[in-house]
Every structure is written in C-alpha cells, then in structure tokens.
Amino acid sequence: MHSINVRTTQNVFIQYPVASVGDRIVAFLLDRLILIAYTVFIFALFINLEMRVTWVWYAFLGIPWIFYHLLFEIVMNGQSPGKRVMKVKVVRLDGTPPTIGNYLMRWIFSFIDYYFLSGVIAMIVIATGGKGQRLGDLVAGTSVVKLVEQQEISSNQIFVKAEEDYVPTFAQVIQLTENDIELIQRALEVNRDQGNSQPVLAVTEKIKTLLGIKTDLPPVKFLYTIVKDFNHITSR
C-alpha cells in the first residue's frame, strides 16, 4: 500500500497510508445522505410555511449541493463530515497543508470525476494511479490518506535510563519541555517502526538550534542522548 508523508505543525513528517477506494466511496455516500436529509428538511419547511417557489427556494436547495465539499474541506482542514467519519483526509503530495487553491481545483474537477459516467472515471483513476488520486487530485497535487491512529508513546517505549553515576553530555537539556521530549520520542518511533529518518533529521536540527549545540554525534544517537540527559536531570 502506498503512503504519503504529512508535515505536522512541529515540522515533522508522519507517514499515512493512502485511503482505499472503498473508504472514499463510503465517505462520499455519507455526505450524499447528509445532503438528501437537508433537501427533505428544506422541502418540508417550505411546504409547512406555504412559501412560494422563488429563486430563494432554489438557492436554499442548490447552493449546498454545489459547494458542499469545497466549503467543508476548507473549514474542516481537508475533511467533510463523511470523510471525518471514515477517518480520511485530503493532503498535498509534498506533505505541506493544502491551500484554498488546492481545494478549489479538486472541487472544479469533481464535477467530471463524480458525475461523468457516474463516477466510473474517478474510481478507475484512483485504482490505477497508485497514489489514491482522482482527476481533481492529479490537477491539484493532492491525495486522500487514511488517518490511522498513531501509536501512543509511553515512557517505557523510548525511555533511556541513565546509570546513577551518569554525567549528562548536554546540560542544556534543562531548557527543554516534556512536549519537546515527546516530539523527540515520536521522531525516534517513526524512524524505528517505519524506517523513515526524516523526522529524526528535522528534530535533530531543531534541538541543536534551540539549545545551541554543535556535535558530530549521529542524529539517532544524539536524540537518544538528549532523552537520556533529560530523564537523568529531571528525575533528580
């Protein structure tokens, strides 16, 4: 299964698998059910209020159907209600957050993807492309990933215990916070479990800059040393 690296707010890449065609179809159908329920509600409302059929009536019915996915993906950061239920999300292939322009391109081409030949083209392009991209994604440089739960990191998973007579290598670690150490642990976990060294390299540079450290230690060993020093100093 193909995967895509997504950049977090801490400038670390987390790897997510590409969403399956099945997940995307179910998400699409859930969104359609929401729109149908909305349409039934508007019909009932106008009938009960005995309102005349005017352009207002058509606007109330038509606008949500036309702009549903575009507005929700912008507001919900790459998701719609259906996508959120199925835990899938729109991302850029380069890992950076999608822009309004990316969502707009996906939306424009969605009319071809979903309504021309009843969505058959979209399914064929997604299934054969390898990166989970329909036509709109190809144009926008986006894809849809499955937000699998990231494994929680406990203190026992990447916890480097120091000997009682241990002398810390980097006393500057006292400037770090628990959140910084958690970020280091996540980077080490991704490197260990996924073989993805990008988070380790990014976090290493961040910690070196933050603490003003210059060292020739390899990135992984450096981060383990930082964790070990931090645990030793904060446990005293």
The answer to whether the CB of 35 falls within 8 A of the CB of 64 is yes
- Residue 34, pLDDT > 70, answer yes
As a whole number of angstroms, the distance between CA 137 and CA 103 comes to 9
Residue 90 scores a pLDDT above 90: yes
Tokens of 32: 């359609």
- Per DSSP, 197 falls in state -
* The predicted structure's pLDDT at residue 137: 92
Residue 146 is encoded by which pair of tokens? 């499955």
Most confident of 27-31, 160-164, 170-174, 200-204: 27-31
Per-residue confidence (pLDDT) for residue 190, from 0 to 100 = 81
Q: Which candidate, 167, 177, 235, 171, places its Cα nearest to that of 206? A: 177
In this predicted model, what pLDDT tens digit does every residue of 206-228 receive, in sequence order?
999 999 999 989 999 999 899 88
Position 197 scores a pLDDT of: 82
pLDDT, residue 157, reads 42
State percent of the chain over pLDDT 90: 39
Look up residue 14 and give its two tokens. 């987390």
Could you read off the pLDDT of 57-77 as tens digits, one per residue? 788 889 999 999 999 999 999
Mean of the per-residue pLDDT values of the chain: 83
pLDDT range class, residue 156, cuts 50, 70, 90: very low
144-155 pLDDT tens trace:
999 875 444 343
